Amino acid sequence: MIKKLDILLIRSFIGPFIVTFFVALFVLMMQFFWLYMDEMIGKGLSIWMLMQLLIYMSTTLVPLALPLSVLLSSIMTFGNMGENFELVAIKSSGISLLRFLRPLLFFIIFISGLAFLFSDDVIPVANLKALSLLYDVRNSKPTLNIRPDQFNNDIQGYSIRVGSKDKDGKIIRDVIIYDHTDMLGNDKVVAAKEGEMIPSADKQSLIFRLKDGWQYQEGYDRTAHNYTQTRAHFAKYDKIFDLSGFKFTRTNEDMFKNAYQMMNVAQLSESIDSFKRDRGRTASSMGAYLAPYITYENKGKESDLLAKDLKNSNYTIHKYDSSFLQLIPDSARNIVLQTVANNLRSFKSLADMSSLDKKLKMENFLKYDVEWHRKFTLPFACILLFLIGAPLGAIIRKGGLGMPLVVAVVFFITFHILNITGEKLAKTGAVAPWIGMWMSTSILLPLAAWLIAAARNDSQVFTKEWYIRVWRRIKNNLPIKDKSVA
């Protein structure tokens, strides 16, 4: 039966949980923008494009923000109740701490179930959208910005220098344009006293309407076998530059669908099974590749006939002192040595290729296996951090964003470092993927059990008065010499 106390407890938890979740998500988003700000500035991205990137990236950051918000809100909720002596009143009425935690534990389990569905269904789609969009943003060219007294090489095949620009940004003076489209150096030059920059109607071209200038072109006359230079004066000349390369284009998302970040549990399980089946095929195919170069391992008919012939015949065993090459005639020795060297090179090349292929497949297998376990570690992390945060709040007995925030950040950083360390160990193959991904949980789970036991016994480990009393006891028991005796 749901009691009124259970409803009040859930209500007091939901408010801090929602606030801390969005605060944590906002902080993580600011970290993302600081990391990629240099790659986004100056590329002419629209507000809608930035909003899309913000929404997709905030969705991918939920697995980090959700456990932190659960930990912080649980510490705040029970800390406020401890500071207002509500926990004392509840315990004095005969309600144990475990009974008091039960409704919130069920609520957190429900949140963890939603987190698993979110991680399995929403996160892969968000990763596909976010990473593909971020890839296009990072590979797009910056907007064309021609500055006075500086050579601009943003337009492929051209180097443009403008002496000065008017305030309207259109009128330009002392213009020099080097045309490198022929890949022959500075063989084509256009110089003009003034001009005007006019974008086309579709924004795909930029027109330099130049006035009072000269065109210089160098070439080679094949008939006369000498170099020529052509100079032509113009009163008005339109130089058109193609700006289609500056247009932001989207890459086909199908190129990224096979990455492990874009798969759910069923797809990851299918890929892992494929890797396991392919592992056996790699070993057998490697043996088939190398068998022709190893006579002993060759199972062909010629090898069988040779072995049978050697077994049934009475061949004289030749003894030689230093080298097997003594048994080979001088006329065939160079051919034999060359054949052996070629076979060894082919053998080594095939072995290296097979080894590299096996290594790459093993690395991919570990990444897929790690991602599979990540789908389950996220919901369990929410439950674990609640089991740590709730008794911590009951022990600390401080509400607000002071001490609870500090303690929550310390425990979350510890959890995050352990989680990253285990993931890196798993991806490098130092430990099994399930060990690496569940390492942080297995280390902190005994701590959660100890904190629950300490909260049930009203431990004062996190109170200042407890440490003062302990220090006084230690100080009183220290052997101090009486100065009057001396």
| pLDDT on residue 110 | 92
| pLDDT on residue 483 | 46
Q: Are residues 242 and 353 in the same domain?
A: no
Of 369, 402, 425, the domain-final residue: 369
Residue 259 belongs to a domain: no
Residue 266 belongs to a domain: no
Instruction: Report the DSSP pairing between strands 158-165 and 171-179.
Output: antiparallel
Nearest CA-CA partner of 174 in 198, 145, 197, 149: 149
Q: Are residues 40 and 119 in the same domain?
A: yes
| pLDDT on residue 311 | 55
Q: Are residues 222 and 295 in the same domain?
A: no
Residue 337 belongs to a domain: yes
Residue 265 belongs to a domain: no
Nearest CA-CA partner of 138 in 263, 35, 253: 35
Nearest CA-CA partner of 382 in 41, 178, 56, 109: 109
Amino acid identity, position 341: A
The whole-angstrom separation of Cα 378 and Cα 113 is: 10
Are 127 and 262 a contacting pair, CB within 8 Å?
yes
Q: Are residues 309 and 241 in the same domain?
A: no
Tens of pLDDT along 124-138?
A: 888 888 888 877 776
Helix (H) or strand (E) holding 210: strand 205-221
Residue 145 belongs to a domain: no
The whole-angstrom separation of Cα 14 and Cα 8 is: 10
Q: Are residues 108 and 88 in the same domain?
A: yes
Q: Are residues 15 and 96 in the same domain?
A: yes
The whole-angstrom separation of Cα 7 and Cα 469 is: 39
Low-confidence ranges of the chain (pLDDT < 70): 1-2, 38-39, 41-45, 138-144, 203, 220-222, 224-225, 244-250, 280, 282-327, 399-402, 458-467, 470, 478-486
Tokens coding 443: 């280390």
Tens of pLDDT along 303-333?
A: 555 555 555 555 555 555 556 666 677 777 7
Range of the domain at 15: 4-140+371-476
The whole-angstrom separation of Cα 119 and Cα 262 is: 11
Of 212, 246, 280, the domain-final residue: 246
Which residues have C-beta within 8 Å of that of residue 336, sequence separation ≥ 6?
A: 325, 328
Strand partners, 162: 148, 175
| pLDDT on residue 309 | 55
What are residue 408's phi and psi, to 5 degrees?
-65, -40
The whole-angstrom separation of Cα 21 and Cα 58 is: 12
The whole-angstrom separation of Cα 461 and Cα 467 is: 8
The whole-angstrom separation of Cα 440 and Cα 67 is: 13
Which residues have C-beta within 8 Å of that of residue 138, sequence separation ≥ 6?
A: 36, 39
- Sign, Cα dihedral of 267, 272, 275, 280: negative
Are 233 and 216 a contacting pair, CB within 8 Å?
no
Residue 255 belongs to a domain: no
| pLDDT on residue 109 | 92
Nearest CA-CA partner of 300 in 318, 288, 312, 316: 288
Q: Are residues 307 and 431 in the same domain?
A: no
| pLDDT on residue 485 | 43
C-alpha distances in Å from residue 424, one per residue of 140, 387, 429, 439: 31, 26, 9, 11
The model's pTM: 0.66
The whole-angstrom separation of Cα 287 and Cα 297 is: 9
Number of structural domains, the chain? 3
Residue 10 belongs to a domain: yes
